[in-house]
Amino acid sequence: MSDKTPVLELRKVDKSFGPIDVLHEISLKVHAGEVLCLLGDNGAGKSTLIRTLAGVHVPTRGQILMDGQEVVFGKPKDAADRGIATVHQFGGTFPLMSIGRSFFVGVEPTKGWGPFKVFDRETANAIAVKAVQSFGITRIDDGDRLVGGLSGGERQSLAIARAVHFGAKVLILDEPTAALGVKQAAHVLRIVNEAKRRGLAVIFITHQVMHAMAVGDHFAVLIRGAIAADFRKGEKTREEITDLMAGGETMADLETTIEGYMDTHQGHPPPSPAP
């Protein structure tokens, strides 16, 4: 799979905001039918990186290629038109909209969508429900239900099903499981696997190593805006990945730090970090 032309490739991409350098020489390849997990602590630059891929930011230096050809995204629509779909943490949805209506938001009615020039509620509902159910979400069976009444996992699933339905080639998921309980997260992970099975290239952003390991074929760890490690499934253990994400600070280092603290504070453990 890896010797094929990547669907999406970054070559030495830098992004600065004025004097602030956020991304440094990011090089990455994403292949069809694979999940690339982008791991990194808060502030590592994950969101900046995906906004650059989604056409929100223009790289300061470097190239973005799709199917081997350089692309320049001046605005989010440019990336969307090339099949890059981004799903944000809460599904980026509209709580007061029906499932059927939210499914077709922003879809150009002129692009072969004749019936939607005048919004056809029943057809829209039927298409939306069918698309979501094809991902195994059989609990969504009424397109008139409001998006606000869905669980976090169902909203994510709806957003992913929508992106796939409208022909996304690259699916970018920004922390899709961060706010979810175990069951809901497992649900979303199954849908990620289904999107991969259908041949999409998926970029899955998370700081939860277990979630990454459940779906990832390829992993990149971002530290202070640079790729600190790039490896494939099975090449590193969970502990090694966790240590990498902590910036090379191992559990042993952490224990030494805590012991040192307790020595100087008469055996009191350090306070818990603020949530």
Contact residue for ligand ADP among 42, 110, 264, 272 (CB under 6 A): 42
Number of residues that bind ligand ADP (CB under 6 A): 11
* Residues comprising the chain, all counted: 275
**Min dist. Cβ of residue 107 to ligand ADP (A):** 28
Rounded to the nearest angstrom, the gap between the alpha carbon of residue 10 and the centroid of all alpha carbons in its chain is: 16
Inter-axis angle of helices 182-197 and 152-165, nearest 10: 10
Question: Which of 7, 37, 40, 101 touches ligand ADP by CB under 6 A?
Answer: 40
Position with the least CB separation from Mg ion: 47
Q: Return all residues near 61 (Cβ < 8 A) that are at least 6 apart.
A: 12, 13, 14
Q: How far is CA 130 from CA 126, 162, 190, in A?
A: 6, 11, 17
- 43 contacts ligand ADP (rule: CB under 6 A): yes
**What is d(CA 44, CA 227) in angstroms, rounded to the nearest whole number?**
10
Query: In the range 73-132, which residues lie near ligand ADP by CB under 6 A?
Result: none
What phi, psi does 189 have (nearest 5°)? -65, -35
CB of 215 to Mg ion, least distance (A): 19
Q: What residue has token string 């992106």? A: 163
Cβ-based nearer residue to ligand ADP, 48 or 184: 48
Out of 13, 28, 48, 168, point to the residue binding ligand ADP (CB under 6 A): 48
- Look at strands 226-232 and 218-223 and give their pairing: antiparallel
Q: Which does 22 bind (CB under 5 to 8 A by kind): ligand ADP, Mg ion, none?
A: ligand ADP
Residue 139 Cβ, how far from ligand ADP at the closest point, in Å?
Answer: 31
Q: Which of 37, 47, 140, 176 lies at the binding interface for Mg ion (CB under 5 A)?
A: 47
- Based on CB atoms, which residue is closest to ligand ADP, 44 or 127? 44
Q: Find the binder of ligand ADP among 29, 31, 46, 196 (CB under 6 A).
A: 46
Q: What is the distance of C-alpha 158 from the center of its chain?
A: 15
Q: Which of 7, 10, 22, 209 binds ligand ADP (CB under 6 A)?
A: 22
Which CB atom, from 48 or from 102, has the smaller least distance to ligand ADP? 48
For tokens 């004749």, what's the residue?
114
Closest CA to 172 of 4, 14, 10, 60: 10
Which is nearer to Mg ion, 102 or 206 (by Cβ)? 206
Reduced to 3 states, what is the DSSP secondary structure of residue 37? strand
The residue among 34, 33, 47 whose CA lies nearest residue 178 is 47
1 binds, among ligand ADP, Mg ion, none (CB under 5 to 8 A by kind): none
In the bound complex, what is the minimum distance in angstroms from residue 134's beta carbon to ligand ADP?
31
The residues, ordered by sequence, that sit 6+ positions from 184 with a Cβ below 8 Å of its Cβ are: 151, 152, 153, 177
Residue labelled with tokens 């224990």 = 255
44 part of the interface to ligand ADP, by CB under 6 A: yes
Residue numbers at the binding site for Mg ion (CB under 5 A)? 46-47
Which stretches of the chain bind ligand ADP, using CB under 6 A? Answer: 17, 20, 22, 40, 42-48
